[in-house]
């Protein structure tokens, strides 16, 4: 005969078995297209969360679907294995000094991380959680969404659902002929398809589809801004964060008719020169070129070192019968000045030394540095794209004023003179990031866009992306400051790049930044 004490202990034992079992069984979720099975994982503080990686959100953009808007995916039978990272979109990462092509053309996959699944959230009296959808960086030519670069562990200590995804890059994501043959913006249209997928499925992962924060860094931050112009994106997210990038940045400026010239040069580089006079023939020829050859041919667009970094960019489209839903039909500035954008709560900001992203690479390669100094007054106006904002006949006059301001009139970068090194960093910071960001905030505020928040991230921790962007520290006795991308170190665990955070101050900053971003998404 059992005593009450024995019954109580036995019941407690059974409950423990239940909770251990339920937390170790791989989670299964029903999506609109079929069932997916993920894995259990642990947050930074040891909280169990559910990870679903590599779920397809559109048809593979291969074969005849290359250079076309994403096509809806068909449903599947059985269980889809969502336990592993999908390959990144095909790319060549010039920023990390990678000489070979990586990734896959079949790359339209999405990742979901959640501390609560839908059935648990609703059945046990909880509420659906705020959703945070991240768009990765990479200048529209590179970038990764997988867990080795965008690990979710820090966010999963909070009550939010985190989403990341791939989108097409470079020539495969942004080739445009400025007509119906290839309207362009496929990478942005992939992002739109991913946001639609979130609306259709996120409640089954415990997320609130009516409370979606879209955030991104660099090209991802600019993408958030681009979505604010697009009427098809309007109801798919409800607030935004743009880290180190807006649609007014020089490297994000949409191209118009000049895209056709780029497409023709691309065709010439890969053996399609007989199709130059007909855009449909040109695009059809490019569809039959090996995808890696297409990406590799991008080397031929560089005129100095790895510049220009961004060749294929968002483009201005025409609305036609065959292109009824263009992503972008006007210049960003025109949208802003007309007040034609989604008036959502928006955080935007920079880090202190954004310009390290190029300064480090230019100065750390001896041959590149020598060539830069030898041709300083000829190269620098081009490397800072003065032609995009200054009449040709005034470029040298403007450059002399810039040189005096940032370099004290010096005609080279002296590695023994920290002022000239920092001058180069400051010039790139202002030209490529800071000016366009403040211009964006000012113009939006003048059009009654509230609330808006600005930030500047100045913390330099144990690790920095500057160490990656610099080919070598040999002969450079200079400690890089707070580099472009550095805030990502404190938002995402990134074992492919950096060791785990160990410094107590780094951990404190990480928790503060996570708290700021998730509080914005929640309240």
Residue 383 CA, chain-centre distance (Å), reads: 23
HEC profile of 433-483: HHHHHHHHHHHHHHCCCCCEEEEEECCCCCCCCHHHHCCCCCCCCCCCCCE
Catalytic annotation, pick one of 243, 305, 484, 510: 484
Show the DSSP H helices in 218-290 as ranges: 219-229, 258-269, 279-287
- Our answer to whether residue 410 is catalytic in this structure is no
- The answer to whether 162 and 152 are in contact (CB under 8 A) is yes
444: tokens are 């939006």
Round to whole Å and give the CA distance between 186 and 372: 35
Residue among 136, 56, 133 at smallest CA distance from 93: 136
Residue among 200, 170, 183, 220 at smallest CA distance from 57: 200
Catalytic annotation, pick one of 105, 153, 203, 354: 354
Catalytic annotation, pick one of 145, 147, 218, 233: 218
DSSP code, position 180: T
- Nearest 5°: the CA angle 143, 149, 151 is 135
168: tokens are 């097409």
Round to whole Å and give the CA distance between 33 and 196: 13
Q: Which helix (H) or strand (E) holds 522?
A: helix 504-522
- Our answer to whether residue 484 is catalytic in this structure is yes
125: how many CB neighbours lie within 10 A of its CB?
A: 6
- Our answer to whether residue 288 is catalytic in this structure is no
Round to whole Å and give the CA distance between 101 and 172: 13
List C-alpha distances in Å: 202 to 76, 129, 198: 18, 10, 5
Helix 356-364 / helix 366-374 crossing angle, nearest 10 deg: 100
- What is the set of active-site residues? 218, 354, 484
């Amino acid at each position: 005969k059992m005593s009450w004490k024995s019954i109580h202990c036995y019941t407690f034992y059974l409950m423990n078995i239940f909770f251990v079992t339920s937390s170790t069984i791989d989670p299964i979720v029903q999506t609109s297209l079929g069932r997916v099975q993920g894995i259990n994982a642990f947050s930074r503080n040891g909280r169990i969360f559910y990870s679903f990686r590599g779920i397809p959100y559109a048809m593979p953009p291969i074969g005849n679907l290359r250079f076309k808007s994403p096509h809806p995916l068909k449903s599947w039978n059985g269980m889809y294995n969502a336990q592993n990272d999908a390959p990144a979109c095909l790319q060549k990462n010039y920023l990390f000094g990678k000489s070979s092509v990586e990734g896959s053309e079949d790359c339209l996959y999405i990742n979901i991380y959640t501390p609560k699944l839908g059935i648990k959230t609703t059945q046990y009296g909880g509420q659906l959680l705020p959703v945070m959808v991240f768009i990765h960086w990479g200048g529209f030519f590179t970038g990764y969404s997988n867990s080795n670069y965008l690990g979710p562990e820090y966010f999963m200590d909070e009550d939010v659902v985190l989403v990341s995804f791939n989108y097409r890059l470079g020539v495969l994501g942004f080739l445009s002929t400025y007509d119906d043959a290839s309207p362009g913006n496929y990478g942005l249209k992939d992002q739109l398809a991913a946001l639609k997928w979130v609306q259709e499925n996120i409640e089954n992962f415990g997320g609130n589809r009516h409370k979606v924060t879209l955030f991104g860094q660099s090209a991802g931050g600019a993408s958030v801004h681009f979505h604010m112009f697009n009427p098809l994106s309007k109801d798919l997210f409800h607030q935004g964060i743009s880290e180190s990038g807006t649609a007014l940045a020089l490297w994000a400026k949409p191209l118009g008719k000049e895209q056709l010239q780029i497409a023709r040069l691309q065709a010439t580089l890969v053996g399609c020169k007989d199709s130059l006079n007909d855009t449909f023939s040109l695009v059809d020829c490019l569809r039959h070129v090996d995808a890696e050859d297409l990406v590799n041919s991008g080397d031929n667009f560089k005129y100095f070192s790895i510049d220009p970094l961004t060749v294929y960019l968002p483009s201005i489209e025409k609305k036609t019968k065959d292109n009824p839903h263009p992503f972008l039909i006007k210049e960003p500035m025109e949208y802003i000045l007309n007040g034609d954008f989604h008036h959502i709560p928006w955080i935007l900001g920079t880090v202190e030394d954004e310009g390290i992203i190029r300064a480090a690479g230019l100065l750390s390669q001896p041959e590149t540095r020598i060539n830069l100094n030898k041709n300083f007054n000829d190269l620098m106006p081009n490397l800072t794209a003065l032609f995009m904002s200054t009449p040709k006949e005034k470029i040298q006059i403007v450059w002399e004023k810039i040189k005096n301001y940032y370099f004290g009139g010096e005609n080279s970068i002296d590695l023994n003179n920290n002022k000239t090194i920092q001058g180069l960093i400051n010039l790139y910071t202002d030209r490529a990031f800071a000016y366009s960001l403040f211009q964006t905030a000012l113009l939006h505020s003048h059009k009654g866009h509230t609330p808006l928040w600005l930030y500047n991230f100045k913390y330099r921790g144990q690790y920095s992306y500057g160490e990656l962007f610099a080919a070598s520290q040999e002969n450079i006795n200079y400690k890089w400051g707070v580099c472009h991308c550095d805030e990502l170190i404190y938002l995402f665990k990134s074992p492919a790049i950096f060791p785990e955070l160990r410094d107590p101050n780094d951990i404190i900053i990480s928790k503060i930044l996570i708290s700021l971003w998730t509080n914005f998404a929640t309240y």
